Each structure stands twice: as C-alpha cells, then as structure tokens.
Amino acid sequence: MEKEKIPLQPFSLEGKVAVISGGASGIGLGTAKKLAEYGAMVAILDISEDKGNIAAREIQQEGGTAHFFRCDVRSAEDCKKAIEDVINTLGRIDILFNNAGVAIRKNAVDLEPDEWDLALDVSLKGQYLLTKYAVPHMIKNGGGSIINTGSGWSLKGGENAVSYCAMKGGTLNMTRAMAIDFGKYNIRVNTVCPGDIDTPMLKSECEQLGGVYDEEYKKSCAVDRPIQRLGTVEDVANVVLFFASDMSAWVTGAHLVVDGGGIA
C-alpha cells in the first residue's frame, strides 16, 4: 500500500533531487526514505548493487521516487559518472548528502597503511569528489544544499579510532571551507554529527572491538548520555531534512551534533 505524501509545508522537498552516498543501508537509507517522504526524488549511490536496488524498490513501494546508481566514492571516474547519470535521469541536483563512510577501530600502531587509505578515501575523498562534480549543476540551478556526515568524534577524540577521528575531524573543517567557497552561489554546506546510531556500522565497530552486538551492548551505549537511549537513523534523518530544506536557508558552515547529549 502506498504511503500518503505529507502535504506541502516548510520542510517540503517537492520538485527537488537529492543524491545520497552510502544510501543503501543505515543512516543513508533512513535519510533517503525521509527525504522521499517529504517529496524529494532520491538518487541512491552505493557500492553494493544488490542493496542499492533493494533500497530503491523499498522507497518506490512506499510511494516515493528513487533510483539507484552504483558508485565507488573512492573513484573520481565513478563519482563523475554517477553525477552525470543522475542529471541524465532526473535533470538536476538540489541536495547532496555525502554520507558514505567506514569505521576501522584501531590505534595508530595497529592500523595498516592500506586501512588508513581506505578510511580516508571513502569518507573525505568521497565527499570531495561528489561535491566537485555536483556543485556545477547546483550553480546552474541557482543554489543547493550539501550535507556532510561527520561524527561526535569530529569534535573530540575516541579510543582505537585514529583513522575515523582523522577523517571525521577533516570533514568538519572541509565543510567550513566549502561553505565559504560556495556561499556566493547560494549553496549551503553543513555537517551532521551523529553519535552511536543503531546501524550495521555500529554492529561492525562492536564486533571489531571483540564485543557482542546485543541488547546489553546497546544499553551500554546510552549509559553516559543525558537522553539515555541509543540513536536511531530517524534521529539523524530529521536533521538532514532540516539542512536540506528551506527551513535552514541562512545556515551554512555549521554542524549539528545528534548524540543524545553524549559530548555535552
């Protein structure tokens, strides 16, 4: 049964096209569904064709418009082609959610050089590449909104997470630089900084550190937070919706921490 679309309102994204990297699972998928719910035509970018096609079908079955485009965000050629394919299919790009990332939980001694390269290439390089190819189309449209996925660890360090902290810290300051560069084109660039969110990535982090991703582990993630629960993809998607919509029309170069108060 098709989900009834929400009526026009300040958060409406009707007529807009949103590109979401890492859109086949976790925060990316949850955000793709949220933006489609508010009227955006969604372009899901992901390295997994199976998961990407399934994600697009889920959104279509819920009454939204979604297309999948395979993209390895580490590759300039892939990113350029994906953006071109979005333009050829949907005609424009208004929103870019640079969300693809990996989390490798090791310190600087244990981390291998190829793992460092993987972590920074998927996140930082991927954010730069998709922005590089998307911005000229946003300029033609008269503006747009870019949202980069950072982390609470964009603002502070974390244990056994040297590459993750490096790339997320880099994301925060890269966002500020992009906001300065592209503001004259009415392109806003902001960062969403999630804490622990119930996703496959958090499960992977838990298991990398020798833990078991069960209810007890999830409870432990919430112990030191003023709002004592684990975050959900919807918590993050709601903030991305704010940054994507006209409700944040004069907000750029900013970051918003979504972590239940964990670094308060």
Catalytic site positions: 164
> Cβ-count burial of 31 within 10 angstroms (0-12 exposed, 13-18 middle, 19+ buried)?
buried
Residue bearing tokens 């965000």: 73
Tell me the C-alpha distance between 117 and 122, whole Å.
Answer: 8
CA distances from 187 to 165, 182, 220 (A): 27, 5, 39
* 238, 197 Cβ separation under 8 angstroms: no
Q: How far is CA 242 from the centre of its chain?
A: 13
Residue bearing tokens 């920074």: 120
Tell me the C-alpha distance between 157 and 120, whole Å.
Answer: 16
> Cβ-count burial of 141 within 10 angstroms (0-12 exposed, 13-18 middle, 19+ buried)?
middle
Tell me the C-alpha distance between 133 and 69, whole Å.
Answer: 15
CA distances from 139 to 12, 91, 145, 200, 226 (A): 21, 14, 11, 35, 41
CA atoms within 13 A on the CB side of 263: 16
Tell me the C-alpha distance between 36 and 49, whole Å.
Answer: 20
Structure tokens belonging to residue 25? 């699972």
